[in-house]
Structure 1
Amino acid sequence: MKRLKLRIYLLFFVLALILIFSYRDSFKVPFQYDDLRRIAFNPEISYLDPLKIFTIYPARAITQISYSTNLSLWGFSPFGFHLVNLFFHFLNGILFYLLIAKLTDGDSRLSLLSSAIFLLHPVNVESVTYISGRAGVLSNFFLLLGLIFFMRMIGDENLISKNTILPLIFFLLASFSKESGFAFPFFLLLFFIFYEKNKIGKLKKYSPYFLLWLFLILSYLFINPNILSGKEEHNLTTHFLSHIDASLKYLRLLLFPINLNIDHYLPLKRIPDLESLITLIIILGFIILAFRNKNPSEVKFFSGWYIVSFIPVIAVPLNDVLSERWLYTASMAYSFLFASFIIYLMNIFKERKDMVRFFFLETLIVFIIVFFSIDLQKRNFIWLDSLSLWQDAAKKSPLKARPLINLGTALLENYELDKAAQCFKKVIQIKSDSVEAYLNLGLINILKRDYGNAYRLFKKAESINPKDANVHMNLGNFFRDTGDFQKAVAEYKKAIALDDTLNDAYGNLGIVYSRIGKMREAEEELKKAAMLDVFREKWKCRLALFYIENGMIGKAENLVEKLASKFPQKAKVHNLLGIFYGKKGDLMRAQEEFSKAFLLSPSNINYLVNKALTLKKMGKFEESLNCFFLAERHQPNMPDILYNIGEIFY
């Protein structure tokens, strides 16, 4: 027995090493997509205050508290978030092993293989690498703990003990991590149905607990009354029909985890058709096959687990129909059933002494683990930056607007204006009322100094949604850049009236006030923008620049030091440091900071131009020319660059 335990510990240690190796790139993945809104730019979780967080986010309070704890321990570094996600994923693998061992009378081989398939399955990358996927990982952690303690509770005659109270606590923790935790009672029913001989008697005995769970579910729905209400175009009937079609695609992703995608395209199904009927027949066939009397209890239990895992997804109408992170719980059932099939065949071949096929299956297991590990690495590599992530998504979902919007935004951040414009134009072809696409196209036209087209696009966005704060903010930017400051102020104030948390509106209003000489008002608005922009450096840098430009060196120095300490890897901060040192006359340090800024963000030519101008002031004309020529190659015909090149020559 001791040797067996030691062997299991050793195998889990090896599995942990494979997992860390396969997910090693995930530690370098930045905040992506919803991570920015939920974590990076969310002032509500900047300080660890569980009661306040529970009040603001009652639906997923535990997950939000975990994010806040992360921020308290590791600050804004995504590394700490990824470490926690992977750690809980590994713990889930161990708990899954313990659950199967309990259900199969200690079959360590089946338990270990199931756990390995689950831990290394590439479909779970979205749950583990995507920081916002933590909700599902945490919920399943508490779900597994609750099930394991519930099985202990069954043998406890005392209705009030740690074995009976702990499952309730874990149920609550699972449910307030993610809505899928409310499937917990259904998993318990599966256990009663397939493992308990005296089903009715046991159900009667523990009926108070089921009634309490029902009460807790109803209380949760009372706290979150809109959770079951569907949109007009995405109601419960549409959602159910669409998920019927999605069910085969989910199975395909588990069986053949290729073409994984952060944003799958699956049109909504409003009316049942032949495809829906065929899918329903396949589902019924699976149910009949899975729940045959001769099947072992654990096979029936995990077949039921697979079906039950989709109840929360089907019951709650969401914006999407298919998402890989919704497969996290279902992937456990799949891992067990697949491992059971492999072990079943191996046992048959061993009994028949067909060692060729037996060793073939052993080789197949190794191949699957290696394939999964390679696939995990490829998938994590794609997640390394937003550009590669959304290029991948747009390629695989060319008829869906959201991947193209996000790809266009990533290209715009890299100053690839023409490619970004192509993406936003495709979005309008797919979704003609996309305000975001029109606004971004307008911004691109401003950057190209095509103000006529920019104004037309902004007004088109306003005609679609006149109550969108971002529309008025962009109109404000247009009027600011074209010198109509009075109209710019009016538009910024409209934006703030519609959304008083829109930091960019305050900041841009501050810039306009500074241009028209209202310095006190400018400082006030820039301070508001910096205060609202809790996790970013953008408006803090702009406030510091305001102080520098207006000779408030003391205030500037204090803010610059804080920014350098808080954001050491941000290009904007180093650019600001360069401007600050230049103002103080320390040109050597100024050009060093501009160099750091350009190295951190080589797509931003302004940092290179700033370095070139500083070198020119220092009399290092040859080095300055080299910088200007490099800038000109990136952005030809830019007047400022051409003027300075000409001035140095002549």
Structure 2
Amino acid sequence: MQSIAGCPEQDCRRLCLNSFQRRNMKYSQMAGWLFQTAAGRRVSFLVLVALTLLIYGQSLSVPFLFDDFRIIERNPAIRDLSGMLSLKSLSSRPLVDLTLALNYAAGKLEPAGYHILNILFHLMNGGIAWLVAAALTRAWYRRQHTAVPTSARVIPFTVAAIFLLHPVQTQPVIYICQRYTLVAAGFYMLSIYCFIQARMRSQEKWEPSSLTHPLPLLRCVLWYAGMMAAALLGVLSKQNTASLPFMLFFIELLVFNRTWWGLVIRVLLLVAGIAGVVLVFWAMRNDQIDSVKALIHFLDVRTREIQGVSRIRYLLTQWQVVWEYLRMVVWPTGLTIEHAYRLTSGNLDLLTILAGAGHLAMLVLAWAVRKKHGLVSLGICWFYIALSVESSIIPIRDPMVDHRLYLPMAGVALIAGYLAQVCFQKTEQPKVAAGMLAALILIATGWSYTQAQVWKSSESVWRDSLEKNPQNPKAYTNLGRVYELKGDRATATAYYTKAMEMDASLYRPALNLGLMYAREGAYDTARDYLEQVIRIHPVCEKAYGTLGLIHLMEGRRDKALQLLKHADRLNPKNPVNLFNLGLLHIEMEKLNPAFTYFSRLVRLFPEEQPAAYYYMGYIREQAGAADDAAKWRAMAIRYGVDVKELNLRFVMRIDADG
């Protein structure tokens, strides 16, 4: 029998087989260059960087959203770089607040600068995830006493690809105020990388000459110092870094050879060191911690965000929430800014028992495969430990939020990377395996690109949230605000009313209605809503301040002053209250207190309150200090005040929203 080419059939098959082998060899050489050489790894990572920029480049035009206004636009602390370095004035997350202050110093309230820095943090975290995965792979195969196989070179690439490109990551990157999550995760992983490097150095056999040339020992000590420094910086970024010692414990247990006693001692010392630094830091900031009882009370308060929810009830809720997280990792649908996940009853119903049993089965699986597939065990432990602070016994206002998967995603990516390595190792057609990996990366990129478009405006974000959860009262509240800003008061009122009907415990829709009616001059209706707000939320300074203005408009100055001062006590940094108190004291011809209120206002917001400078000039002019008055009015003109309008009348202000 002859082949088409005229050769015997056996020769034709041999030629086809040789051609197939040559193609596979050519691919293997290319893959080897990509994952084994330094140049190839750089090219691989640059491809991931390009895809990440493609996804998140469109976020540069995204405005401030939701909590961004509270943390950035209305936060006077980020306007004072020097004040942020004072120990007494430090916030609970001072490191990230410092980056926000640098953003403000560079570009004021232009959102693009904040988005650029968030994207850079995400890219750096992707690089750290690559380094951690590569170090863990080397350490694991060293424990197995084997060389790192060629196929294992795909693990770091896969980890970085999933970490950078997974759709779940879009929320913490685009939502500016989630920079706390980005920065804390970066230092968390950096601390892990330093720990792995220190442990690998400590396993090296040192020559006797190292006693006279202690460079290897010095390198080991420096890596441990880097681990501690990164851990501390992580704690100063976000409190979920507290789970780091437990992560290091399982890395030591699963990747390195240690005795149990040495392992326990090492981790206890680490926990004591980090806890000691944190407690000293908090004690220096809080003069009320003067006894053990006060410290226990302080820790109890600091480890819960909401009152009235037992720790057990929150834990049982999280058993179900974590399965939702796992579903979102595998099939990322339903991603939204607000899930409105309701707490369970706190009883052990069938669904809760099954959820808890499922988590126990996952941990049993991790233990069972630890000797043969240690990286899989570590990935499972990583996922649960990274979630342990926000998904355990610390009650938090929102039981389920997408951005909490940011750091746990690295553990999932480690499992996926190990499975990719197994596929490359077992398959006889590596080209097929590489094609599947490339296809998954492109699918993730496209999915993330589409998800990022949801964040283009406040309206698109909240409409998306409402579509995915029609029973979400917060979505109705925020869409009401969107329509109010558009001037469609009827639609805004309908959305606010719907939110109150769905959840009578929410005060924000009633507050927004009160503010809206106050701006329209419908004071009786506004008063009804504002008094409803105070019944639900007695510490809402905006409700008291606006009620004070209503009393002022109706001629009751004393009552107005009482309410405005109470609002100022509730929140001494509310610029609207300070401005109105200053104007009221001018009308009451009490110029010295008026000057004090305006002075406080410009100290908090030095470049955004030009009218305050103008009124300070007016007060000094009335006091006969012409030169001082001219100075303050020059400041007002410098920052863009409309002097002609202010000369016509005093203009009271009403808060923008609730």
TM-score tier after normalising by the smaller chain length: 0.7 to 0.9
Structure 2 CA distance for aligned equivalents of residues 197 and 517 of structure 1: 77
Kept in 1, the 8 Å contact 2:305–2:395? The answer is yes
The alignment status of 1:235 with 2:310, answered yes or no, reads yes
Kept in 1, the 8 Å contact 2:65–2:458? The answer is yes
Q: Shift of residue 544 of structure 1?
A: 4.9
Residue number in structure 2 paired with 1:643: none
CA distance change for structure 1 residues 303 and 579 in 2, over 3 Å: closer, same or farther?
Answer: same
The alignment status of 1:292 with 2:368, answered yes or no, reads yes
Q: What residue ranges of structure 2 are gaps of 5+ in the alignment?
A: 1-31, 139-147, 203-216, 284-297, 649-655
Kept in 2, the 8 Å contact 1:501–1:532? The answer is no
Structure 2 CA distance for aligned equivalents of residues 401 and 24 of structure 1: 31
Pairs within 5 Å for 1:199-348: 199-200=259-260, 202-203=262-263, 206=266, 209-210=269-270, 212-213=272-273, 215-216=275-276, 219=279, 223=283, 225=299, 226-229=301-304, 231-269=306-344, 270-293=346-369, 295-313=372-390, 314-348=392-426
Amino acid at match of 1:13: L
Amino acid at match of 1:265: A
CA distance change for structure 1 residues 342 and 455 in 2, over 3 Å: closer, same or farther?
Answer: same
Instruction: Give the secondary-structure state (helix, strand or coil) at the position aligned to 1:258.
Output: coil
Residue number in structure 1 paired with 2:524: 452
Kept in 2, the 8 Å contact 1:227–1:316? The answer is no
CA distance change for structure 1 residues 211 and 459 in 2, over 3 Å: closer, same or farther?
Answer: closer
Residue number in structure 1 paired with 2:471: 399
Instruction: Kindly provide the CA deviation profile for residues 293-338 of structure 1, in whole angstroms up to 9, marking residues without a partner as x.
Output: 3641111111111111111112432111111111111111112222
Amino acid at match of 2:416: F
Name the stretch that deviates more: 127-136 or 474-483.
474-483
The alignment status of 1:77 with 2:126, answered yes or no, reads no
CA distance change for structure 1 residues 532 and 222 in 2, over 3 Å: closer, same or farther?
Answer: closer
Structure 1 CA distance for aligned equivalents of residues 535 and 363 of structure 2: 51
Q: Shift of residue 215 of structure 1?
A: 4.1
Tell me: higher relative CO, structure 1 or 2? Use CA pairs within 8 A at least 6 residues apart.
2
Structure 2 CA distance for aligned equivalents of residues 50 and 369 of structure 1: 45
Amino acid at match of 2:228: L
Residue number in structure 1 paired with 2:248: 188
Structure 2 CA distance for aligned equivalents of residues 27 and 149 of structure 1: 33
Structure 2 CA distance for aligned equivalents of residues 411 and 220 of structure 1: 48
The alignment status of 1:172 with 2:232, answered yes or no, reads yes
Pairs within 5 Å for 1:111-130: 111-130=156-175
Instruction: Give the secondary-structure state (helix, strand or coil) at the position aligned to 2:339.
Output: coil
CA distance change for structure 1 residues 560 and 218 in 2, over 3 Å: closer, same or farther?
Answer: closer
Structure 2 CA distance for aligned equivalents of residues 110 and 207 of structure 1: 27
Kept in 2, the 8 Å contact 1:47–1:68? The answer is yes
Kept in 2, the 8 Å contact 1:128–1:137? The answer is yes
Amino acid at match of 2:384: I
Residue number in structure 1 paired with 2:547: 475
Amino acid at match of 2:60: F
CA distance change for structure 1 residues 266 and 47 in 2, over 3 Å: closer, same or farther?
Answer: same
Q: Shift of residue 254 of structure 1?
A: 1.1
CA distance change for structure 1 residues 465 and 178 in 2, over 3 Å: closer, same or farther?
Answer: closer
TM (norm. structure 2) is 0.76
The CA RMSD over aligned residues, in Å, is: 3.5
Q: Shift of residue 273 of structure 1?
A: 1.2
Name the stretch that deviates more: 501-510 or 311-320.
501-510
Structure 2 CA distance for aligned equivalents of residues 463 and 232 of structure 1: 17
2:177 aligned residue (132, 135, 147):
132
Q: Shift of residue 229 of structure 1?
A: 4.3
1:540 aligned residue (595, 606, 610):
610
Structure 1 CA distance for aligned equivalents of residues 274 and 521 of structure 2: 61
Residue number in structure 1 paired with 2:63: 30
Instruction: Give the secondary-structure state (helix, strand or coil) at the position aligned to 2:64.
Output: coil
1:386 aligned residue (438, 452, 458):
458
Structure 2 CA distance for aligned equivalents of residues 382 and 207 of structure 1: 43
Instruction: Give the secondary-structure state (helix, strand or coil) at the position aligned to 2:406.
Output: helix
Structure 2 CA distance for aligned equivalents of residues 545 and 398 of structure 1: 48
Kept in 2, the 8 Å contact 1:291–1:300? The answer is yes
Kept in 2, the 8 Å contact 1:511–1:522? The answer is no
Instruction: Kindly provide the CA deviation profile for residues 429-451 of structure 1, in whole angstroms up to 9, marking residues without a partner as x.
Output: 13324333222222333344433
Q: What residue ranges of structure 1 are gaps of 5+ in the alignment?
A: 565-572, 584-603, 605-650
Amino acid at match of 2:175: Y
Structure 2 CA distance for aligned equivalents of residues 427 and 504 of structure 1: 26
Q: Shift of residue 290 of structure 1?
A: 3.5
Pairs within 5 Å for 1:516-595: 516=587, 518=589, 520=591, 524=595, 527-528=598-599, 530-531=601-602, 534=605, 537=608, 539-541=609-611, 544=614, 558-559=634-635, 561-564=637-640, 576=642
Residue number in structure 2 paired with 1:494: 566
Q: Shift of residue 6 of structure 1?
A: 1.0
Equivalent residues, number:
565
Kept in 1, the 8 Å contact 2:305–2:397? The answer is no
CA distance change for structure 1 residues 373 and 396 in 2, over 3 Å: closer, same or farther?
Answer: same
Structure 2 CA distance for aligned equivalents of residues 496 and 51 of structure 1: 23
Structure 1 CA distance for aligned equivalents of residues 559 and 531 of structure 2: 14
Instruction: Kindly provide the CA deviation profile for residues 431-477 of structure 1, in whole angstroms up to 9, marking residues without a partner as x.
Output: 32433322222233334443332232233334445553222211123
CA distance change for structure 1 residues 377 and 416 in 2, over 3 Å: closer, same or farther?
Answer: farther
Q: Shift of residue 109 of structure 1?
A: 1.5
2:136 aligned residue (83, 103, 116):
103
Structure 2 CA distance for aligned equivalents of residues 51 and 517 of structure 1: 36
The alignment status of 1:17 with 2:44, answered yes or no, reads no
Amino acid at match of 1:34: D
Q: Shift of residue 212 of structure 1?
A: 3.6
Structure 2 CA distance for aligned equivalents of residues 91 and 466 of structure 1: 44
2:92 aligned residue (51, 55, 59):
59
Identity %: 20
CA distance change for structure 1 residues 522 and 190 in 2, over 3 Å: closer, same or farther?
Answer: closer
Name the stretch that deviates more: 29-38 or 141-150.
29-38
CA distance change for structure 1 residues 55 and 393 in 2, over 3 Å: closer, same or farther?
Answer: farther
Instruction: Give the secondary-structure state (helix, strand or coil) at the position aligned to 2:48.
Output: helix
Kept in 2, the 8 Å contact 1:510–1:521? The answer is no
Structure 2 CA distance for aligned equivalents of residues 154 and 438 of structure 1: 57
Instruction: Kindly provide the CA deviation profile for residues 136-156 of structure 1, in whole angstroms up to 9, marking residues without a partner as x.
Output: 211221222222221222244
Kept in 1, the 8 Å contact 2:136–2:196? The answer is no
Amino acid at match of 2:199: I
Residue number in structure 2 paired with 1:631: none
Q: Shift of residue 118 of structure 1?
A: 0.8
Kept in 2, the 8 Å contact 1:114–1:336? The answer is yes
Residue number in structure 2 paired with 1:426: 498
